[in-house]
């Protein structure tokens, strides 16, 4: 297996790509048996080709692997917390901002192969940083199996679990707004996209929080979920300051 992988790497990759993969292995503390998984995980859709697929499929798989690992861990670790509390902790821990933070800490942003249009920005959007983290999780899962992927996830996310559980991190504002709205108004908030701009690989979104027939705050973000959290956060601030918030003009 190792000899085949090395042959593929030497024949199909230039020195720059190979060095990039080796550096990534050191940063994530995992050595791949088949470097193709890692190479794909670090390939953005803006530079994909028929022979060089992007990490979108790995990202899809990594999201599920990450969700399974965290759900099982939280279930076993917090035996006296109910389903609602566990759901809230998990939603924050696997959020775009947290995954982007860990991706940046590991140095994945600097190793991510993206097109020139993306690299014009000083820092990759959180959505892309979170995506590459999920893709790397999937690459490790494909290369080494679930147990190896579990160790990687927990090694890098465990400290975030403790922060969220002790309420040292940002709250899940959508969950808090929903709790308030259902308790006070007997209504569930929804979120509508007001506008989106930019190319597919670098979009920005504006989302408005809606409760009943009232529009509240508008949030902005590089992903819909991020914009929704921001809309919920501002809406909660409005509710605290005004008593019930003010409707946005169309």
Q: In whole angstroms, what is the distance from residue 117 CA to residue 200 CA?
A: 11
* Backbone torsion region of residue 117, taken as left when φ is above 0, otherwise alpha when ψ lies between -120 and 50, otherwise beta: alpha
Among the listed residues 102, 134, 226, 230, the single catalytic one is 134
Q: In whole angstroms, what is the distance from residue 73 CA to residue 8 CA?
A: 36
- Is 136:28 a contact under the CB 8 Å cutoff? yes
126 closest CA partner among 142, 112, 141, 140:
112
Alpha helices (H) in 145-248, listed in sequence order: 146-165, 173-184, 224-242
Among the listed residues 59, 63, 102, 230, the single catalytic one is 63
- Is 63:218 a contact under the CB 8 Å cutoff? no
* 63 is known as an active-site residue: yes
Dihedral sign for Cα 206, 204, 111, 7, please.
positive
206 closest CA partner among 223, 188, 186:
223
Q: Which residues belong to the active site?
A: 63, 134
């Amino acid at each position: 297996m190792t000899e085949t992988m090395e042959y593929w790497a030497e024949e199909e990759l230039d020195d720059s790509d190979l060095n990039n993969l080796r550096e990534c292995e050191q940063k994530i503390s995992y050595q791949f048996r088949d470097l193709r998984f890692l190479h794909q995980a670090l390939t953005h859709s803006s530079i994909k080709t028929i022979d060089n697929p992007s990490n979108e499929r790995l990202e899809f798989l990594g999201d599920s692997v990450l969700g399974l690992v965290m759900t099982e861990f939280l279930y076993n670790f917090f035996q006296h917390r109910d389903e609602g509390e566990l759901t809230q902790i998990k939603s924050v821990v696997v959020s775009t901002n947290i995954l982007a933070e860990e991706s940046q800490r590991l140095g994945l942003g600097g190793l991510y192969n993206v097109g020139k249009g993306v690299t014009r920005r000083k820092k990759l959007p959180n959505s892309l940083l979170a995506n590459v983290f999920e893709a790397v999780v999937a690459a490790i899962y494909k290369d080494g199996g679930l147990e190896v992927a579990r160790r990687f996830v927990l090694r890098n996310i465990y400290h975030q679990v403790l922060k969220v559980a002790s309420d040292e991190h940002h709250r899940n504002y959508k969950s808090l707004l929903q709790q308030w709205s259902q308790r006070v108004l007997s209504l569930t908030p929804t979120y509508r996209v007001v506008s989106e701009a930019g190319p597919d690989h670098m979009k920005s979104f504006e989302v408005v929080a809606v409760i009943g027939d009232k529009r509240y705050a508008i949030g902005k973000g590089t992903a819909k979920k991020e914009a929704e959290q921001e809309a919920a956060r501002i809406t909660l601030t409005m509710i605290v300051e005004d008593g019930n918030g003010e409707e946005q003009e169309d």
